[in-house]
Amino acid sequence: MPGQAKHTAAISLGIMGAGFLATFPFGGWGGALLHGGFEAGLVGGLADWFAVTALFRHPLGIPIPHTALLPRNRDKVVRSLIQAIETELLTKESIVTKTAEFKIGERLLDLLETHREDAAAVAVRVSEFALEHLPMDRIVPMLARALETKVRDLDTAGLLRKLGDETLARGYDEKALAFLIDKAGGLASREETRRQLGIIGSAALQKLQVGGLMGFAVNAFISFMDEEKIGGLLQNAIVGTLSEMRQREDHPLREMLLETLRGAIRNLPESPSVLEELDGWKARLADGGAIERQLAGWLEDLRVKALAFVREPRFTEDYVLPAISGLLASLRANPQVIELFQTWVQERIAGFVERNHWKIGKLVKENIDRLDNDALIEMMEDKIGGDLQWIRVNGAVCGFLIGLALEGINLLA
């Protein structure tokens, strides 16, 4: 476009020059009128050519004063341009006001509403990236050190006391006794148990040394009862007793065993051997690196499972998209939250503009400084050269019309 306008301007100047020369031989009012018009058009075209050229370079390469204005006043022009941008075009107030009109909170909600699938995909990818790049080498030792400290500082007696109180409060002692009675009943009902009871009972009877009538009765009983009968007798007695203990909560033996169990639970925090064993276990656990190894394996397994779950389509469908929809609904129902977010964003923008507004002029200056005079002139001619060349055309045409008018007045006068 600038080249075409420059070509048009040259043609207009050529026409005025040719017309000026061609009308010399003609006389009369018509010839004089045209000659005056072409003469004024030639003068106007040359004057405007000189003015346009003088902006960028010396006309015809002659260093005429007050020409090549842009190269000679480059720094002044740049400073004026930067000042105009900073104080007139892109002031702090105008930037802040314009961003406030943008309503970024509502725009973000609309954008999220329109592109929720894209937002869900981004959320999934961010989750994947976070899981893939978890700094396990830093997380595991940190957590392990914290857990080791907690284990060392653990009050063993206090923990046993709390566990005992919780066990008794929740009735775990009765459940434990019931479990033991059931297991004992099952064990006592076995054939092997009856045989062993018969052997044990028979051996015990053989060791009895009773004299007199009692001895006679015992020996008669032993000769009458064999191991199988003794085992069956003892088994039935034991199984019956266990069955009664299972059915009757007030059974004396059950109550005795339960009270014994409760006493053992209450006395655990006061048992030196138990405390010593637990304190030794704590020391081995805290100082042997077992916590860190176990934690590393557990966290790595958890990370792998979480990564596989995040990559499943149902993670997006069942969790991410509903979460985004719920967030949007919640924000739509609470416009004050959007307003607070808008205010927060606006304050951040205002602070950013306040701190960095001077960089606008600096950026403009740096970009201009990258260009030498020839490149800067070429750029300006490319942007505004076409309009400047039309000034030359207008100068020639206006000069021609004004010349006609002036020569007409001259002839009339």
Angle at CA of residue 364, ends 76 and 102, nearest 5°: 130
* Res 1: pLDDT: 47
Mean pLDDT of 23-50: 72
pLDDT cut 90: percent of the chain above it:
10
Q: Is pLDDT above 60 for 40?
A: yes
> For 114-138, how does the pLDDT look when each residue is reduced to its tens digit (9 = 90+)?
888 999 999 999 999 999 998 888 8
Query: How many CB atoms sit inside 10 A of residue 328's CB?
Result: 16
Q: Is pLDDT above 50 for 333?
A: yes
Are the C-beta atoms of residues 19 and 10 closer than 8 Å to each other? Answer: no
> For 267-322, how does the pLDDT look when each residue is reduced to its tens digit (9 = 90+)?
888 888 888 888 888 888 777 778 888 888 999 999 999 999 999 999 999 999 99
Q: To the nearest whole number, what is the mean pLDDT of the chain?
A: 79
Q: Is the dihedral of CA 374, 375, 377, 382 positive or negative?
A: positive
Structure tokens that stand for 178 in this block? 């019931």
Mean pLDDT of 83-91: 72
CA distance 251 to 244: 7
Least confident of 165-179, 197-211, 288-302: 197-211
> For 339-368, how does the pLDDT look when each residue is reduced to its tens digit (9 = 90+)?
888 888 888 888 887 887 777 777 777 777
Rounded to the nearest angstrom, the gap between the alpha carbon of residue 348 and the centroid of all alpha carbons in its chain is 19
> For 225-276, how does the pLDDT look when each residue is reduced to its tens digit (9 = 90+)?
667 777 788 888 888 888 888 888 888 888 899 899 889 888 888 888 888 8
Phi, psi of 120 (to 5 degrees): -65, -40
Q: Is pLDDT above 70 for 18?
A: yes
Would you say how long the chain is, in residues? Answer: 413
| Domain positions in the chain | 2-72+372-412, 156-285
